[in-house]
């Protein structure tokens, strides 16, 4: 065995990695990762030492992500719903030298790689296509010998949301990807962290291009078995939990809503008592949804609040949450919470202001190739905001009350209104448009477009606008509904008060965002 091995007292023939098609024990996973790592080490990296991964969840995708860690290559997770042009932007901005694709988007990946000047595209379970290296052939040609472990590990490079119309890149922060002098040192840290989790395998229910699910790949490198699901089907999740005695998972509130929506007789059919830690992140969880999940699964829910840029800044377990419903918990090291008022002075307990975090390491948050955005997020060295409003109580528990930005969070996915607006404004039938988040029972928020028609007597149909939008953007960024209006409230400076626009759709006590 090389570095990757099961947690103490677990057998080598136990579950190490599985999806709907394959199952690896620890010996087989060790051999597969040796091949992936050695194959990555053999590649040329004419630009940055980065490999983008543009694929749905699978055991192959997990191997690719894990292999980049062991080869000292920075993975660039790319949402597999992105259009070609959206992917080209990420490939170009990141400087990626390699692209991995799945069978669902091999052609789009090849087109984007060509436009971005990437010559190495590797795809699993794909048809033979010009310019595509088949994953299976690539691995067969690689050595199974143990790769070197003295290389320096490199964090992943994630593309996170903002309000400028383009995603910004940020490396996985130290809280998620601990700095280490060598691969061997990193895996030792990951083993220590995985040992703190409840004993038993985990299941990846969300897409690996999100930071939360991706943490579970690193837990696998630390000795936790892992089952990955290609898509989220609620009954299949329950069946997987029962079949594999799943102990750990990371989900978003939308997953909870879909699980709870199953008929009672279906829910009663499956034993979920093996679950000992169910982390959730990505968006605010409605109180009734969270309480019903605790009633069903037990007090095993752990809420992690933070951002891709910072990692987890606050955390709360089920017991504390039931005592303080609605809180995201106290700050976790190395962070301290600071509430800042309009006069830029620090506020006391139970006073609402903008939420800032002091990183006691001095790092703060860093946006790749964007010192201006990095500076804008800070009010002092290491003191940054994630753009939200809230307060802290006498015990140090944080409550989020609003968002400063116009960001829409739908099913745990961050969406730029500005990006969608820019596309719709290119349609000849649109004179002006404002995109806002409207309430959606399952997703939390949905994208809604308020459109001023270029010809009010003959406005474009919603179907035509949706078709146009989908030609330029991933489906999840396109509005779910369109409403034609006479005015969107632009002032003389051209700004829109989106909070006012949203008032007609949101109950006052539930309105999200600014």
User: Which one-letter DSSP state was computed for residue 7?
Assistant: P
Q: What pLDDT, on a 0 to 100 scale, did the predictor assign at position 514?
A: 42
Q: Which helix (H) or strand (E) holds 295?
A: helix 287-297
State mean pLDDT over 241-254: 95
**435 within some domain:** yes
**38 within some domain:** yes
10-41 pLDDT tens trace: 888 999 999 999 999 999 999 999 999 999 99
- Same domain, yes or no: 170 and 105: yes
State mean pLDDT over 149-162: 88
213-225 pLDDT tens trace: 999 999 999 999 9
User: 137 is in which domain, residue-wise?
Assistant: 26-180
**107 within some domain:** yes
- Same domain, yes or no: 30 and 163: yes
- Taking the CB of residue 207, how many other CB atoms lie within 10 A of it? 23
- Same domain, yes or no: 350 and 442: no
Q: Which two tokens stand for residue 439?
A: 């309430």
User: Please, what is the Cα angle at 140 between 139 and 146, to 5 degrees?
Assistant: 70
CATH number reported for the structural domain that contains residue 494 in this entry: 3.30.300.30
Q: What pLDDT, on a 0 to 100 scale, did the predictor assign at position 406?
A: 73
Query: Closest by alpha carbon to 93, among 419, 376, 369?
Result: 369
- Same domain, yes or no: 43 and 176: yes
- Same domain, yes or no: 379 and 415: no
CATH number reported for the structural domain that contains residue 125 in this entry: 3.40.50.980
Distances from the Cα of 52 to the Cαs of 43, 78, 291, 347, 360, in angstroms? 14, 7, 38, 43, 32
d(CA 87, CA 116): 9
Top pLDDT among 509 and 444 is at 444
Q: Is the dihedral of CA 123, 126, 129, 135 positive or negative?
A: positive
What value does the CA radius of gyration of the chain take, rounded to a whole number of Å? Answer: 23
d(CA 384, CA 344): 13
Mean pLDDT, the chain, rounded, equals 92
- Same domain, yes or no: 31 and 172: yes
**283 within some domain:** no
Q: What pLDDT, on a 0 to 100 scale, did the predictor assign at position 163?
A: 38
CB 103 within 8 A of CB 126: yes
- Same domain, yes or no: 399 and 423: no
**21 within some domain:** no
Which of these three, 180, 207, 228, is where a domain ends? Answer: 180
**2 within some domain:** no
**201 within some domain:** no
- Same domain, yes or no: 388 and 418: no
**218 within some domain:** no
User: Please, what is the Cα angle at 475 between 87 and 88, to 5 degrees?
Assistant: 10
Number of domains in the chain: 3
Q: What pLDDT, on a 0 to 100 scale, did the predictor assign at position 8?
A: 81
91-111 pLDDT tens trace: 999 999 999 999 999 999 999
């Amino acid at each position: 065995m090389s570095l990757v091995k099961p947690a103490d007292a677990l057998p080598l023939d136990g579950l190490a990695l599985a999806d709907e098609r394959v199952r690896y024990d620890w010996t087989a996973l060790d051999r597969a990762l040796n091949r992936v790592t050695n194959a990555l080490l053999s590649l040329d990296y004419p630009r940055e030492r980065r490999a983008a991964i543009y694929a749905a969840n699978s055991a192959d995708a997990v191997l690719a992500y894990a292999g980049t860690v062991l080869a000292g290559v920075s993975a660039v997770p790319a949402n597999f719903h992105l259009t070609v042009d959206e992917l080209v932007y990420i490939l170009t901005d990141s400087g990626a030298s390699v692209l991995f694709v799945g069978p669902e988007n091999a052609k789009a990946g090849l087109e984007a790689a060509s436009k971005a000047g990437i010559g190495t595209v590797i795809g699993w379970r794909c048809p033979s296509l010009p310019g595509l290296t088949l994953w299976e052939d690539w691995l067969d040609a690689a050595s199974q010998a143990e790769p070197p472990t003295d290389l320096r590990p490199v964090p992943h490079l994630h593309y996170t949301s903002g309000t400028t119309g383009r995603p910004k890149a940020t490396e996985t922060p130290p809280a998620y990807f601990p700095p280490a002098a060598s691969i061997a040192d990193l895996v030792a840290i990951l083993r220590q962290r995985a040992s703190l989790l409840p004993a038993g395998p985990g299941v990846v229910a969300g897409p690996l291009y999100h930071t939360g699910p991706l943490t579970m790949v690193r837990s696998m490198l630390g000795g936790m078995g892992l089952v990955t699901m290609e898509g989220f089907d609620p009954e299949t999740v329950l069946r997987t939990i029962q079949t594999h005695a799943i102990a750990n998972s990371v989900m978003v509130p939308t997953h909870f809503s879909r699980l709870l929506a199953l008929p009672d007789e279906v829910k009663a059919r499956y034993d979920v008592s093996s679950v000992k830690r169910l982390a959730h992140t990505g968006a605010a969880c409605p109180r009734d949804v969270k309480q019903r999940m605790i009633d069903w699964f037990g007090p095993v829910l752990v809420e992690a609040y933070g951002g891709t840029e910072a990692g987890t800044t606050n955390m709360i377990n089920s017991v504390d949450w039931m005592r303080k419903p609605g809180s995201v918990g106290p700050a976790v090291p190395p962070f301290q919470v600071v509430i800042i008022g309009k006069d830029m002075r620090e506020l006391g307990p139970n006073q609402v202001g903008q939420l800032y975090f002091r990183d006691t390491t001095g790092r703060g948050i860093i946006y790749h190739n964007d010192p201006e955005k990095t500076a804008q997020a800070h009010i002092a060295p290491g003191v940054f905001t994630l753009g939200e409003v809230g307060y802290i109580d006498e015990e140090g528990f944080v409550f989020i009350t609003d968002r400063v930005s116009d960001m829409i969070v739908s099913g745990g996915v961050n969406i730029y209104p500005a990006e969608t607006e820019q596309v719709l404004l290119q349609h000849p039938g649109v004179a002006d448009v404002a995109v806002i988040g409207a309430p959606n029972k399952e997703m939390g928020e949905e994208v809604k477009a308020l459109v001023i028609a270029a010809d009010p007597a003959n406005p474009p149909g919603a179907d035509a606008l949706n078709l146009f939008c989908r030609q330029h953007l991933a489906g999840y960024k396109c509005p779910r509904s369109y409403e034609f209006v006479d005015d969107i409230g632009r002032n003389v400076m051209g700004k829109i008060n989106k909070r006012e626009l949203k008032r007609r759709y949101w109950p006052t006590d539930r309105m999200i965002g600014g």
